Amino acid sequence: MWREGYVLGGDTRFFVRVLGTAGWAPDEATADRDDELIVLLHGWPEDGSSWRHVAPVLAAAGYRVACPDLKGLGRTAAPKGTRYDHESLADEVSRLIRNLHAKKAVLVGHDWGGPLAVATAFRHPGLVRALVVASAPLRRIDLRRAWHIPLFNIPVLPEVAFKLAPRQLVAAGIRRASTRPEAIDDEAIDGYAAGVGEHPRGWLPYYRELSRRTVVEATVRTMRRRTGLLRDPQRPNRLRMPARVIWGEDDPVTPFSLAGDVARYLDADVVGLPGIGHFVHEEDPLATAQAILDLIGPGAYARKGGVQR
């Protein structure tokens, strides 16, 4: 049975849906801490409910699964004066993990949830048991495909557009980015649009701050390579945690060719999903869940023959 409530992550009150074994509820401050937690971080324009078909598979395998709405999306409001740099976002996720009463968590991030998961793994490695990144470019963006990113960086216009027509814009974005748009039904789109349209200024900084940083870092790396004067200091991680990259092979906005770059950076392997677009967890939830479980194995409750509830 799903449990829902608000959990603090720093100054942000995350709306969280939880499924699986272990007695978590928002007010159970004294609950036993465990490391059987998986935190699923969604991207734009979705909310935590986008994992509705993945979470039950993971819970059946013995895990407690938490699906928060990211800051500024769904039912998680962005506090006044909040920051969107990698470090601040990673600190929020780390506090969320602690307040979910876990020693460690498996972090899975799709789209903008990917950079958040990676930043948390680098900044708080002691809290991360394993890392999975799905359809989430890290150090290079193909702006020929992701041309919506420059548009979202235009002042004022995106705020006005998403206030006036959130449902139409969200539906168009999902149709453009997926190969199986029927997997995301009208009810889901209505829910996503409600979150996106309520406070656009709460989610646009993901595009305006994190994407600008990515472009700047990519430009610096290109200059290093072309001049030959400086060696690129970025190397695969040495976090000593298992990592995996999941990607739709027919992704129209973040092409599959980017998956190899992400995998090399994280020293991870790649699982490509044929015929799948950008929203891998909604277009092929069973394959996505299986790719996660193939990396981390069953949870302790399943290993002991426990019954999920």
What's the CATH number where 17 sits?
Answer: 3.40.50.1820
* Mean pLDDT to the nearest integer, 181-189: 96
Q: Is 196 left (phi over 0), alpha (psi -120 to 50) or beta?
A: alpha
Is residue 309 a part of any domain in this protein? no
Residue 97 domain flag: yes
Query: Residues 220-238: what's their mean pLDDT?
Result: 51
What is the average pLDDT score of the chain? Answer: 87
- Rounded to whole angstroms, the Cα distance separating 42 from 155 reads 25
Judged against a pLDDT cut of 60, whether residue 309 lies above it is answered with no
231 has a pLDDT exceeding 70: no
pLDDT at res. 89: 96
pLDDT the model gives residue 141: 79
Element housing 15 (H / E): strand 12-19
Q: How far apart are CA 55 and CA 62, in angstroms?
A: 11
- pLDDT-derived band at 209, boundaries 50, 70, 90: confident
Residue 308 lies in a domain: no
pLDDT at 223 exceeding the cut of 50: no
**pLDDT value of residue 186:** 97
**238 vs 50: which has the higher pLDDT:** 50
- Has residue 212 got a pLDDT over 90? no
Q: Which residue, among 254, 220, 48, has the nearest Cα to 141 in the 3D structure?
A: 254
Structural domain boundaries, residue 257: 3-303
Confidence bin at 35 (pLDDT 50/70/90): low
**Other Cβ atoms closer than 10 A to 53:** 15
Which letter, b or e, does each residue of 139-162 get, where b requires 16 or more Cβ atoms within 10 Å of its Cβ?
A: ebbeeebbebbeebbeeeebeebb
- What is the rounded average pLDDT of the residues 198-209? 90
**96-118 pLDDT per residue, tens:** 999 999 999 999 999 999 999 99
Is 32 contained in some domain? yes
The Cα 108–Cα 90 span in angstroms is: 13
Residue 107, in any domain of the structure: yes
Domains identified in the chain, total number = 1
* Residue 190 scores a pLDDT above 70: yes
Looking at the domain assignment, is residue 199 inside a domain? Answer: yes
Would 245 be classed as within a structural domain? yes
pLDDT (average), residues 27-31: 46
